[in-house]
Amino acid sequence: MKKLLLLPGLILGIAVFWYMSQSKTGPEKTQIQERAKPVRIIPAPKVILIPIAVGNGYVQPERTWKAVAEVAGRIVDFDPDLHQGAFVAKGDLLISIAPEQSQLALQEIQAEIQKIQAQIEELDQKKADTQRQLEVEKRSLEIYRNELERKQKLFESGIISRSDLNREEQNLLTQKNTVENYKGILNQLPSERRAMKASLRALQTRSQDARITLKKTVIKAPFDSRVAEINIQQGQAATAGEVLIVLDSVGTSEVLVQVPRHYMKNLIPRNLKKPIDIQNLKNLSRGDVQGMLGLKAIVRLEMGGRVAEWEGRFARFGETDIKTGSIGVYVAVDNPFQKIQPGKKPPLQKNMYVEVELRGKPRDRTIVIPRSAVHQGQIYIANEKNRLEKRLIEIDFQQGNLVSVKSGIRPGEKIIISDLVPAISGMLLKPQTDEAALSKIIKEATGSETVK
């Protein structure tokens, strides 16, 4: 009975299984689709490139002057308001040293000069007197000679004795000796006068030195400046050779920056008629450099989110750094204490650490791309079919965040700037233009944005 009851269920199960096996379909087949990789690109721009080199350095005054005491003495005049950091104008009195000793020395020399001048006057008078006396004695000599001739005739006539003739001869010899003595005196006077004149010139030189020394007791500012150091106060004694005050000029400040040689090479125009050896740049004059290189300079100071700028100018080349090979460049800023804007633009003061940007003459239009887009001499391009193409390029030079491409790219080609890993040639891409990156690279190339 139980078997009969199970038979209908068994038959039903077999029927259902058969139906399902007849109506079952095979697995659905789906077509595999290639997935595009999103990438950021920029169309390769061709722009007029401004060669730029950036360096850093400390601001220093163009001139530093030390007021050294050239005479010893007590400080008798000193402005009590003259402190470190104060400004002084050209010609302002800084220090006066007691002049008594210098004045006394000058008076002594002047007295000696007057004495020598009086002696020269006496000597000139003696010469005139001696010349007059010599003329008198010469006339007397002529009289004695005539008298001797007369007595010689008288002796020959037997009118006078031999002793009378001898006395007359003796008188003539005595007169001759007198004349010669006066001539000897006149001959000595010129040498005596030359000796006195030499002594007078020496005293006059000493007098000039004494006057100069007297002037050295008053120290004035040689140019518009700012007090950097004070080592003396009124009433103190200054010793010769002591540095009393140190002044820094305020008309011009300078910054010495070390520029890497390859960056300096970028600043040299390609169309120079005469090649320049960058190793010997320091031997060129400022006019030569400005004429050939056309350098411009910008000095920048970072102030916690704000940047202050000053227009600079090329001053001269410095020494080449032995360790790094970089070339020293002095950049000058005129009137650094003018055009001050509180909170925005402070005075360009000594020892400020600033950035200096040097700009050369504009280059011809060239293709520029981000430095990060170059991978071991290759770039990645999204071609017309939006597939990855690896391309070898020739780099002209590097500058900051960009490179100038000499060959291997056409203007407008889509340069991939994303980090693409893995980078498989021919892979499908989904390019998206990065307008911000394009604008940044163009601004940096044309000098509208700071090179870092």
Query: What is the CATH code for 64-97+218-249?
Result: 2.40.50.100
What's CA 437's distance to the chain center, in Å? 38
The Cα–Cα gap between 37 and 23 comes to 43
Question: What's the pLDDT score for residue 413?
Answer: 94
Q: Identical fold at 52-59+251-359 and 64-97+218-249?
A: no
- Reading the block at residue 56, the tokens are 């850093």
With contact defined as beta carbons under 8 Å apart, do 340 and 346 qualify?
yes
| Number of helices and strands in the chain (H, E) | 6, 24
235 in the Ramachandran plot: left (φ > 0), alpha (ψ -120 to 50) or beta? left
Q: Which letter does DSSP use for residue 223 in this model? A: S
The Cα–Cα gap between 325 and 314 comes to 20
Question: What's the pLDDT score for residue 1?
Answer: 44
- The residue with tokens 């030569």 is 288
401-430 residue pLDDT tens: 899 999 999 999 999 999 888 889 999 999
Q: Could you tell me the fold of the domain covering 37-49+366-446?
A: 2.40.420
Question: What's the pLDDT score for residue 301?
Answer: 92
Residue 182 dihedral angles phi and psi, to the nearest 5°? -65, -35
> Would you say the pTM of this structure is higher than 0.85?
no
Query: What is the CATH code for 52-59+251-359?
Result: 2.40.30.170
With contact defined as beta carbons under 8 Å apart, do 234 and 209 qualify?
no
Residues whose CB falls within 8 Å of the CB of residue 347, separated by 6 or more in sequence, listed in order: 336, 337, 340
Question: What's the pLDDT score for residue 239?
Answer: 85
Q: What angle do CA 212, 217, 221 make, to 5 degrees?
A: 95
DSSP H or E segment with residue 47: strand 46-48
The ranges assigned to domains in the chain are: 37-49+366-446, 52-59+251-359, 64-97+218-249, 101-215
Question: What's the pLDDT score for residue 3?
Answer: 47
Peptide bond into 80 cis (omega under 30): no
Question: What's the pLDDT score for residue 274?
Answer: 61
Report residues of the chain scoring pLDDT below 70. 1-32, 271-291, 450-452
Query: Three-state DSSP class for 443?
Result: helix
The Cα–Cα gap between 74 and 71 comes to 10
